[in-house]
Structure 1
Amino acid sequence: MRDLGAGFRYLLKGQRWVARHGRQYGFGLVPGLITLVLYAAALVALALWGAGFVGWATPFADDWSSPWLGLFRGFLTVVLFALGLLLSVITFTAVTLLIGQPFYESLSEKVDRDVSPDGTAPESGLTLGRELWISGRDSLRIVVRALLWAVLLFVLGFIPFLGQTVVPVIGFMVTGFFLTEELAAVALQRREVELRERLALLRARKTLVWGFGTPLGLAFLVPFVAVFLMPGAVAGATLMARDLLGEETVEDGATGEDGATGEDGADEPVAPAH
């Protein structure tokens, strides 16, 4: 339970960090807004032409009598839109992070410098193209894992009582885990921590991860909320990544954006929370 609370505190600390660094917050909003516009356009197109697509894909039903033809194709249209909406929720973070790689990389580095005792941040030394390739490849692997879980939970959802109580809770926990992995990857990739090692780190501290990712996943169900929380989520995940790796971190807010001591003058290191 202690780790659960610590994970949620990292989420709050990340939001507080971007609130104190307005310029970084403004830059961090850009990728989310771009992704939101793209996804909104895709969903609107699906709503407008989904029925036509279903009709094209089911020519065998053209001769069905009323009302069965309308009910059948109407049901498939609703399912198609629901699947599109589910896919947009699952992939929103991955696509936003991919589009915003340079933005979030810069933000994460500044968080590292702000809380590092010596004011430095790890650097990957990779070109932007290589970073985008690695990020895209790993994000695809995570999305595939998340979709497999989504299919499994969808099937389990038909089990009476458990499908309406336990399964949704498990679903939010799974979403929180993969969401946290995507966000923490920004900081961990700069430290050359590969996907398999990242997953092992997160599994070793699952309650910490759930405390961070599960409430964030619930908030991310609202697309506009996801856009405005994303910069703080990256900042919080960077702070949590330092904890996972056992890196020394100065008190949150002790240093300014340029590494100078803050108003309270506190620069005493604190041990990572466990």
Structure 2
Amino acid sequence: MFKGNFFHGLGYLAEGFRLIRQPGLRLFVIIPLCLNILLFALLFYLLAEFFAMLIATAMGWLPDWAWLQSLDWLFWILYGAVILLMLAYGFVIVANLIGSPFYGYLAELTEKLLTGEDLGVDGGWSQLIKDIPHALWREVQKIMYYLPRALGLFILGLIPVVNLVAALLWFLFNCWMMALQYVDYPADNNRVSFPLLRQQLAQRRLSALGFGLPVALAAMVPVLNLFVVPAAVCGATAFWVRESRLPLTQ
């Protein structure tokens, strides 16, 4: 059940950050990065507007005491923390939906750079546009896999005592999902279905969790999460190239 090498997995994200600086990959990093910056700014603006309205409503319910009305800064600190958390997880989901066609092609170019082998997927920009429905469907499959399991963990988290274990399971599940999310791009390029990918990653679960851990942590840091997505795609491709070709002896 726990095969693979956790410490090998930890190094793939750092390798991804090195790969995104390669001249042949930069274009397919810059384009989704620009889209992500626009998306991040829009989400931040909408959430800030929403919480400003929420704070104004909450302050309106309070008695008209000067010392209570002066606590609006405390509300902004509390809601600011909520904004950051919502922004982190919401951003990753939406960014992957928008950038999925670019990330698939980025994974293809990264694999070619690492192996010197051509996957035989030609067509350039026209093919990238044609692949949009397929790329979106792969993202929907991942969301459909994620939601019922996340709901189950959420329910466990409401049970006293059990919720202590649920917190650990929730974190491990997020690491697992990050590995699934990004290794899916090179797997799709190699005609591996999403169910089969889950089986293959399960055979190297420790390596997958090692890769997913720093990705999950970096995705929670505003600004850094703008860059972690393309780096995770490149790192996941390095994971795919090396881990999928190793015998399961570790």
| TM bracket (short chain) | 0.7 to 0.9
Q: Which residue of 2 aligns with 1:28?
A: 29
Work out the CA distance in 1 between the residues paired with 2:184 and 2:103.
Answer: 11
| Contact 2:142/2:181, CA 8 A, preserved across alignment | yes
Work out the CA distance in 1 between the residues paired with 2:153 and 2:40.
Answer: 20
Quickly say closer, same or farther: Cα 1:235–1:143, change in 2 above 3 A. Answer: same
Q: Which residue of 1 aligns with 2:89?
A: 90
The CA deviation at 1:209 is: 0.8
| Contact 1:93/1:179, CA 8 A, preserved across alignment | no
Q: Which residue of 2 aligns with 1:11?
A: 13
Work out the CA distance in 1 between the residues paired with 2:32 and 2:249.
Answer: 31
Work out the CA distance in 1 between the residues paired with 2:82 and 2:56.
Answer: 17
Work out the CA distance in 2 between the residues paired with 1:171 and 1:48.
Answer: 30
After superposition, what is the alpha-carbon deviation per residue over 1:59-108, rounded to whole angstroms, capped at 9, x for unaligned?
xxx999789xx9xxxxx999987666544433433322222233222221
Q: Which residue of 2 aligns with 1:188?
A: 187
The CA deviation at 1:218 is: 0.9
Q: Which residue of 2 aligns with 1:136?
A: 139
Q: Which residue of 2 aligns with 1:48?
A: 49
- The answer to whether the aligner puts 1:120 opposite 2:118 as a matched pair is yes
Quickly say closer, same or farther: Cα 1:197–1:40, change in 2 above 3 A. Answer: same
After superposition, what is the alpha-carbon deviation per residue over 1:36-76, rounded to whole angstroms, capped at 9, x for unaligned?
432443343333333646998x9xxx999789xx9xxxxx9
Quickly say closer, same or farther: Cα 1:7–1:102, change in 2 above 3 A. Answer: same
The CA deviation at 1:210 is: 0.9
Which residue, out of 146, 151, 156, partners 1:148? Answer: 151
Work out the CA distance in 2 between the residues paired with 1:83 and 1:140.
Answer: 22
Quickly say closer, same or farther: Cα 1:31–1:82, change in 2 above 3 A. Answer: same
After superposition, what is the alpha-carbon deviation per residue over 1:86-134, rounded to whole angstroms, capped at 9, x for unaligned?
44433433322222233222221112212225x2225498932332332
Q: Which residue of 2 aligns with 1:267?
A: none
The code of the aligned residue for 1:135 comes to R
Work out the CA distance in 2 between the residues paired with 1:273 and 1:9.
Answer: 20
Work out the CA distance in 1 between the residues paired with 2:15 and 2:6.
Answer: 14
Structure 1 vs Structure 2: percent identity of aligned residues?
21
For 2:191, what is the secondary structure of its paired residue?
Answer: coil
| Contact 1:36/1:223, CA 8 A, preserved across alignment | no
Work out the CA distance in 1 between the residues paired with 2:61 and 2:240.
Answer: 59
For 2:200, what is the secondary structure of its paired residue?
Answer: helix
TM (norm. structure 1) is 0.67
After superposition, what is the alpha-carbon deviation per residue over 1:213-254, rounded to whole angstroms, capped at 9, x for unaligned?
11221122102112222222111101212345x348xxxxxx
What is the RMSD computed on CA atoms of the aligned residues?
4.0
The CA deviation at 1:202 is: 1.9
For 2:202, what is the secondary structure of its paired residue?
Answer: helix
After superposition, what is the alpha-carbon deviation per residue over 1:121-175, rounded to whole angstroms, capped at 9, x for unaligned?
254989323323323322431442464256246435x649x73xx5544333211
Work out the CA distance in 1 between the residues paired with 2:62 and 2:224.
Answer: 44
Higher relative contact order (CA 8 A, sep 6+): 2
Can you give the 5+ residue segments of structure 1 that lack an aligned partner in the other structure?
71-75, 249-270
Work out the CA distance in 2 between the residues paired with 1:150 and 1:230.
Answer: 25
Work out the CA distance in 1 between the residues paired with 2:113 and 2:61.
Answer: 67
Count of aligned pairs between the two proteins: 239
